[in-house]
Amino acid sequence: MIRHYSRQLFSLLFLSLVLTVVVAPHFPAQAQSVRSVDEVMQLTVARDENNALQLQWNIAPKIYMYRDKIQLEKPDGTLVPVDINEGVVKDDMNFGRTEVLYNHAFAQVPQKDLPQDGKLLIRWQGCEEDSICYPPVTKSLDLQTLEVTKVALGFGGLSQSNGTAGQSLAQLPTIDLSATEDAATDNTATSTSAEPAETGFWASLTDASAEDVNAWLGSNFTLMLAGFFGFGLLLALTPCVFPMIPILSGMLAKSGEKLSSGRGFVLSTAYVVAMAAAYALLGFAASWSGYNLQAALQTPYALGFMALVFVVLAFSMFGYYELQLPQGWTNFFSRKTAGKGGAISGALVLGFGSALIVGPCVTPPLAAALLYVAQTGDAVRGASALFALGLGMGVPLIIFGTFGAKFLPKSGPWLNTIKQIFGVVFLGLALYMILRLLSDENAMLLLALTALACGVFLGVFDRLSAESTVMMRLEKTTGIAALIYGTLLMVGFAGGSGDPWQPLAFLQGNGTQVAQSAVAPSVKIVKTTAEYDQALSEAVATGKPVMVDFTADWCVTCKSNEKVMKQPEYAARLGHLTLIKADITEYSDANRDLMQRFNVVGPPTLMFLEAQTAAEQKQNRIIGELTPDKLNSRLQALGL
């Protein structure tokens, strides 16, 4: 029987869902309450007596444009040098101290710097004082007619004359992006005939097309919520949710004899609601500033802090101290929830933090939703979609918390053992986050030392007697296994191996080293748009196709993707292209500018550019995990 406090929590959850479904569709969207970008930043294009290109924006009162966001781009992706009038320095809430333009913006390009094919992309962005920021705008300019159009076909390999790409664009669902003139379909177009369709459940999930996601976002509000709830259910079957299971288990185990199915339901529901709220916060952050809050929380400081939190939780499980809220808060929650508030509030904190830091999982549905809200500014729709996504991901956790609670010990000496086990699990989670900040070799060393220490503390050198219990023998057996594994890791570290699953791989020959040497000479590491443009220019000069890899040291999936690329069967083929690694570990302003230029939400993201033209094969972009089948199909599309 679910007690009164669980009924209160469930009622609040149900009420919030009802209000979201009933009220939010009638909430005035920002696109309806503000003027369109064409009204507030009117662009006119002309030629002067020297045939130089002149662009002028008439900027409405209380509107300003970012000077450094005004960019002109050639069809091959390189930027055009442009002279822009000086602005004033503003302490902007989105980009800090930056130069902005009021009333008018002027840009000029000499004839000699203009492309020969007569086409150009124009990008800009602006904001309204004490109000909203308009999403980045991209338009196409025909230099012969000086006609400015909304959708820039003919760039990035999406030419109208190309039957495949043209057909895909024609089939895309129509989405109202009235607040932005940069059509989302241009950034997310896919081609159904560019490569063989991958089959199987996992392929269909990981390759969920962005236009399908956008179709849900642009549909009826209730249908959109149901669609993203379904996306969440599917994502719950992927490794995205796995790190959260031991956290929830440890939280439930700490309740001990007080744990019942009803209480397990309450705690797990609180955990999931907070997790969903964290995803909703990602949506709000993206809509108001285009800022990827989740990526920002993968910095060394944030990961180190969260690792410290789990160490503190672990020692609490070991019984060194009890964690509880301040007495005043505890008394308040005790009056409201029959003394259970401390645990519920703890579940809320763990759920919120887990979603943002412990389980960073960039998937097509999440990436498409974040791009949608960043482009439209529709915070209500975007945040609601991500809240529904989080709830869907949390359904298995609620089921586990409710029905799995009865399998956890309620009292007796086993309870202390279980708590200690989960204390070790929490230490493992802390180690998992720290490893994301280390190189493969240093991670191997830390894992080796940890395994050796576990072996010692589990009594591997202690003598057993005839009176030794089964538990003591089991502990020593585990200690021996840890000692052996730690020794193998130490040998692997000494041999230069960086794979903890295959620490002795270096003894099998030089296959991996050959793979690495085949790829390494062609790698160019960039962190800014200027470095990228330089690297791309050099890559185009070689006549090779280009693969752009957005990666970061803290990105676990990125390291997994690198192992796929190093497999010998792909090494020789990768040697025939240039790899540009966009390192966004620092997640600095320069990193974010580079990501925003290509509508990249977070790592890992792989882009494939054709030789000579450097036009991106957008239908082949990969977000998230790279499988051998995906890599093979993308290389085939490049003719490798």
pLDDT tier at 363 (50, 70, 90 boundaries)? low
Alpha carbon distance 178, 218 (integer Å)? 12
Query: Residue 57: its pLDDT value, please?
Result: 92
The pLDDT, as a whole number, for residue 239 is 58
Is 65 within 8 Å of 107 (Cβ atoms)? no
Counted domains in the chain: 4
- The answer to whether residue 268 is domain-embedded is yes
**What is the structure's pLDDT at 31?**
36
- Cα–Cα dist 619/364, whole Å: 13
- Residues 118, 247: one domain? no
pLDDT at position 455, please?
82
Asked if 495 and 581 sit in the same domain, the reply is: no
Determine, yes or no, domain membership for 145. yes
On whether both 219 and 340 belong to a single domain, the answer is yes
Select from 490, 419, 426 the least CA-distant residue to 453: 490
Between 34 and 460, name the one with better pLDDT.
460
Identify the domain containing residue 494 by its residue range.
440-503
Residues 253 and 137 in one domain: no
Residue 540 exposed, middle or buried by CB count within 10 Å (0-12, 13-18, 19+): buried
Residue linked to tokens 């053992």:
417
Over 60: is that where the pLDDT of 179 sits? no
What does the pLDDT read at residue 161? 31
- 411, 445: one domain: no
Q: Does 219 fall in a domain? A: yes
* Same-domain status, 77 and 132: yes
As a whole number, mean pLDDT of residues 234-243 equals 64
Question: For position 375, what pLDDT does the model report?
Answer: 52
- Distance from chain centroid for Cα 228: 17
For residue 441, how many other CB atoms are within 10 A of its CB?
13
Residue recorded with tokens 């024609």:
170
Tell me the average pLDDT across 445-457: 83
pLDDT at 266: 81
CATH number at residue 130: 2.60.40.1250
Q: Which of 132, 150, 168 is the last residue of a domain?
A: 150
220 shares a domain with 249: yes
- Tell me the backbone φ, ψ of residue 101, rounded to 5 degrees: -120, 130
Same domain, 470 and 596: no
pLDDT digits (tens, 9 = 90+) for 8-28: 443 334 344 434 334 434 433
Task: Supply the pTM of this predicted model.
Answer: 0.42
Q: Kindly report, residue by residue over 104-137, the tens digit of the pLDDT.
A: 999 999 888 887 767 888 988 888 776 566 767 8
Higher pLDDT, 34 or 80: 80
Per-residue pLDDT, 28: 37
Tokens of 19: 């209000």
Name which of 112-121, 147-156, 194-203, 378-387 the model is least confident about: 194-203
Same domain, 499 and 558: no
Tell me the pLDDT band of 458, cut-offs 50, 70 and 90: confident
Residue 241 resides in a domain:
yes
- Backbone angles phi and psi of 104, in degrees to 5: -140, 150
Listed in order, strand segments (DSSP E) in 146-201 are 147-149
Judge whether 388 lies within some domain. yes
State yes or no: pLDDT of 207 exceeds 50: no
User: How far is it, in rounded angstroms, from Cα 254 to Cα 263?
Assistant: 12
Q: Is the pLDDT of residue 202 over 50?
A: no
Predicted pLDDT at 342 = 47
For residues 605 and 616, give the distance between their C-alpha atoms in angstroms, rounded to a whole number: 13
**Neighbour count for residue 145 (Cβ, 10 Å):** 9
Regarding whether 409 and 296 lie in a shared domain, the answer is: yes
> Band of the pLDDT at 237, cuts 50, 70, 90?
low
Among 120, 150, 180, the domain boundary falls at 150
- Whole-number Å distance between alpha carbons of 245 and 233: 15
Q: Sheet holding 578-583: strands in order across?
A: 523-526, 578-583, 546-551, 605-609, 622-623
Quote the mean pLDDT of the chain: 69
Out of 207-211, 310-314, 315-319, which region has the weakest mean confidence (pLDDT)? Answer: 207-211
Name the CA dihedral angle for 106, 112, 113, 114, rounded to a multiple of 10 degrees. 80
Whether 233 and 292 share a structural domain: yes
- Given 150, 165, 196, which residue is the final one in a domain? 150
In a domain, 423, yes or no: no
Q: Where are the alpha helices (DSSP H) in 218-326?
A: 221-235, 244-253, 261-289, 293-296, 300-317
Query: Between 333 and 142, whose confidence is greater?
Result: 142
> Between residues 364 and 85, which one has the greater pLDDT?
85
Has residue 202 been placed in a domain?
Answer: no
Q: Is residue 355 domain-shared with residue 235, that is, in the same domain?
A: yes
User: Which CATH number fits the domain that encloses residue 539?
Assistant: 3.40.30.10
What is the identity of the amino acid at 185? Answer: T
Residue pLDDT, tens place only, 270-284: 888 888 888 887 766
* Residue 570 counted as domain residue: yes
More confident: 527 or 158: 527
